[in-house]
Amino acid sequence: MNAVNEYARQVMDLIPPALPERDRIELDLRAHLEETVSELEGSPSAAFDRMGVPRDVALAYLAEIPMRYASVGRRVLAFFIDMLTGFAVLGTVAAMVLLTFGFLAVGEELTKTGPPQVTMAFLIMVGGGFVASLALLSIGYFPLLEWRFGQTLGKYLLGIYVVGEDGLRPSLPATIVRRIPFFLEFFWIDAIVAFFTERNQRAFDLVARTVVVENGATG
């Protein structure tokens, strides 16, 4: 990867993935980079010095985009969609595990090819894997998707996404911090704060310095 592409990548990594204007920003950024390099007789380093550090460039682009914060109602609905989706997935997996165990138990009984302990060992192994998967899903679903894509399935369907208060793509630590109330089970106390903040932020949105915005906006 040449220096110009690397610089463009660093800038675009700071732009929220769900931002509708993202493609336009990248096209404009690359065109401006090529023009600046050409003006400075093909010196990428001089062009980078003129344009500034990637963070400042990203902030300059985002400053031109109007801000529209997501309503509390839309955020709540997105959350319930995520919860229903999670229950549906986990329910399907649980049903498959139980059906598999049932078939194995019946097969063992009919063929007598193995002691009952084989089926029990399988059940313990699969059950342990299921519990571990549930824990990982519960812990990682929101933070990882909000960090990587800016939105979960529910947020995607409702047209909202997470950004930093400065408008940049949120960091992984920030997306983890904003989910602490879910991990420690005081979500409703945290959520009530959103009704009293100017930007509809939950208490741990304030701590993580994140906001939820609608498509066509950043914040």
Structure confidence by residue, pLDDT tens digits, 107-118: 555 555 555 555
Judge if 89 and 197 occupy the same domain: yes
Q: 120-152, pLDDT tens digit by residue?
A: 666 666 666 666 666 666 678 899 999 999 999
User: Quick one: angle between helices 116-148 and 72-111, nearest 10?
Assistant: 160
Judge if 102 and 168 occupy the same domain: yes
Judge if 192 and 145 occupy the same domain: yes
Higher-pLDDT residue of 215, 14: 14
Angle ∠(59,171,53) on CA atoms, nearest 5: 35
Residue 61 is predicted with a pLDDT of: 95
Judge if 99 and 204 occupy the same domain: yes
Judge if 82 and 9 occupy the same domain: no
Judge if 83 and 42 occupy the same domain: no
Judge if 37 and 136 occupy the same domain: no
Looking at this protein, which amino acid is placed at residue 19? Answer: L
Residue 129 lies in a domain: yes
Contact 208, 174 (CB under 8 A): yes
Give the mean model confidence (pLDDT) for residues 94-105. Answer: 66
pTM of the model: 0.80
Judge if 145 and 76 occupy the same domain: yes
Residue 39 lies in a domain: yes
Q: How many CB atoms lie within 10 A of CB 218?
A: 29
The total number of structural domains in the chain stands at 2
Judge if 160 and 94 occupy the same domain: yes
